[in-house]
Structure 1
Amino acid sequence: MSDLPRTQAEFENQSYLSHLVELRRRLVRSAVAVIIAFIGLVYWAPLIFRLLARPLMQNFPEGGKLIVTDVTGSFFVPMKVTMLVAFLIALPFVLYEIWAFIAPGLYRSEKSWVGPLIGMSYALFLCGMAFAYFLVFPTIFRVMAHYNAPLGAEMTTDIDKFLGFAMTMFVAFGVTFEVPIVVVMLVHAGVVSVAKLRQIRPYVIVGAFVIAAAVTPPDVLSQLILAVPLILLYEAGLIAARLMTASAPRDTPAHFDME
């Protein structure tokens, strides 16, 4: 009997180490997938950067241009953009690795919706980035050019600062489009009810405008472009949460199922 606690501790330690080894293996495979995608794209790095900068270039006033103020900026900025594109391309594989790591510990009923939820998260993030690129960027750049005209200022932008601005917008709108997923997960986990989320709707609306004011340029149009989709996506999340969790069954963990 005295050996039982030690044996159990050894078993738990071995289980913990095996999980760490499995996690490391999947992280390495994910990193390799990103690197392979990057190597396949690196030749076209200048073209990829020009595609990213197209909304800005098309809305430059006469005489406006992109400049490089850092000695290595013309090399590293396109590389950064290409790495980000490579990560987006490899992201489905990365998400699969995450899913494969956590799946053995999920309930059977959770497996039926967590997988599609991960796929939907990826799709919604891409939709948010596309929304920023095709609608938000042209609008913001056009408005900023209009502000410069009365000042008689020539509009020039450093490519590194432009990349920082673009990444901020991509992340802001990508995360914004994840709101329905967050709402569904909170309700499904029992953290909050749909009724409570409806009750705090006025605070969410105010919060949406606060967030929009914090991450977009200081003009009303840019803030509306972020705040309005955020509110609509919150409402979509409420509808999805009610439909998906109304009759969610409670099951036993998958690894204890003997069938």
Structure 2
Amino acid sequence: MPLDQIEEESEMGFLDHLEELRWHIIRSLIAIVVFSIAAFIAKSIIFHTIILGPSRTDFWTYRMMCELSQVLQLDALCIDDLPFTLQSRQMTGQFTMHITASFVVGLIFAFPYAFWEIWRFIKPGLYPKERNATRGATFFVSVLFMIGVSFGYFIVSPLSINFLAGYQLDPSIINEFDIISYVTTLVMLVMGCGLLFQLPIVVYFLTKAGLLSPSLMIRFRRHAIVVILLLGAMLTPPDPFSQVLVAIPLTALYEIGIFISKRVTKRELSTEIIANE
């Protein structure tokens, strides 16, 4: 076969892959747009109930903390006042935030489908052994993402908003936050936790690639706990209860990562033994 024909077929194959990727991305964007439009239409539910929920004392997390304070007889846990008001200081502030928040909500709800579409493009390029090893990737990634988003929304965000709302340099300074600042903070905390909860998946693939081992994770376990406590201190009010409340799930994720790394390493060793025999 002439060289120019081989190059032409190779180029056409590459273009075909690009075309396939383009359609996967288009379908993912369509899903995001559909959910975003639905969120845009359901303005009262998305904003009043969901986005502005952590800014009111009747939010689920604050009510549970008050009930817990009665059981533990710790009045400090009960949050009955959030000393701040929300404002829109720009002419297009509310409309712009309406569009932005709707897109973020659409992205969160469409994430499982969007990831499935991208995974459909990646999966055919894997070896049969790698396909078997990554079976259920879409399910686990989506579940961990949703758990992380829920953790960020119901735990991290209310505690952080309560701390930031009550923090004052001087009593004469009134906390009047712009709606853009409030929503941006909420989105960063929620999406950050959603990505942070992908730690077990990252550990799995790094162990499969030989870049991470259970012994290494165990050796740096104490360092990881210190980092987790620092994260808890940065994301929550400066009280031990809130820090522990955030640190426990993150520590559990690290321990799950060690368990996953051990299983992957053990499986790889068994495969090598069988292959050598």
TM-score in terms of structure 1 length? 0.83
Deviation string 1:187-229 (CA, Å, 9 cap, x unpaired) is: 112222222222222332333345556x636735565554443
> Are positions 1:219 and 2:238 aligned together?
yes
Q: Aligned in 2, Cα 1:115/1:92: closer, same or farther, shift over 3 Å?
A: farther
The answer to whether structure 1 residue 32 and structure 2 residue 52 are counterparts is no
Which string of whole-angstrom CA distances, capped at 9 and with x for unpartnered residues, describes residues 33-82 of structure 1?
21122223321124302221111122683763211111111112122111
Structure 1: which 4+ aligned runs deviate by more than 4 Å? 209-213, 220-228, 248-251
The alpha-carbon distance between structure 1 residues 113 and 220, as it changes in their structure 2 partners (threshold 3 A), is: farther
Q: How many Å apart are 1:239 and its aligned residue? A: 0.7
Q: Which moved more, 1:177-186 or 1:10-19?
A: 10-19
Q: In structure 2, what is the Cα distance between the partners aligned to 1:156 and 1:120?
A: 40
Q: Which residue in the other structure is 1:254 paired with?
A: none
* Fraction of identical pairs, as percent: 28
Structure 2: which amino acid aligns with 1:55? P
Matched residue type, 1:54: G
Q: How many residues align?
A: 248
The aligned amino acid for 1:139 is L
Contact 1:45 1:81 survives alignment (8 Å): no
CA distance, structure 2, for counterparts of residue 149 and residue 138 of structure 1: 21
- Asked if the contact 1:60/1:145 (under 8 Å) is kept, the reply is no
Q: 1:7 to 1:157 in 2, by over 3 A?
A: same
Seen in structure 2, the aligned counterparts of structure 1 residues 238 and 62 have a Cα distance that, compared at 3 Å, is closer
Name the CA distance, whole Å, in 1 between partners of 2:42 and 2:180: 18
Q: Which runs of 5+ in 2 are unaligned?
A: 58-78, 273-277
Indicate the residue corresponding to 2:213 in structure 1. 193
| Range moving further from structure 2, 103-112 or 15-24 | 103-112
Of residues 85, 95, 98, the one that matches 2:118 is 98
CA RMSD, 1 decimal = 2.8
Q: Deviations over 1:85-126 (max 9, x none)?
A: 112222222112111101111122322342412321111111
Between 1 and 2, higher relative CO (CA 8 Å, sep ≥ 6) is seen in 1
Looking at structure 1, the residues matched to 254 and 220 of structure 2 have their Cα atoms a distance apart, in angstroms, of 11
* Aligned match of 1:257: none
Q: TM-score, normalised on structure 2?
A: 0.78
Shift in Å, 1:162? 0.4
2:93–2:180 CA contact under 8 A, matched in 1: yes
Matches within 5 A, 1:150-161: 151=171, 153-161=173-181
Is the counterpart of residue 44 in structure 1 residue 42 in structure 2?
yes
Q: CA contact under 8 A between 1:183 and 1:234: conserved in structure 2? A: no
Which segment drifts farther, 132-141 or 78-87? 132-141
Instruction: Choose the corresponding residue for 1:117, options 112, 130, 137.
Output: 137
**Distance in 1 of aligned mates of 2:138 and 2:208:** 15
Structure 1: tracts of 5 or more residues without a match = 252-259
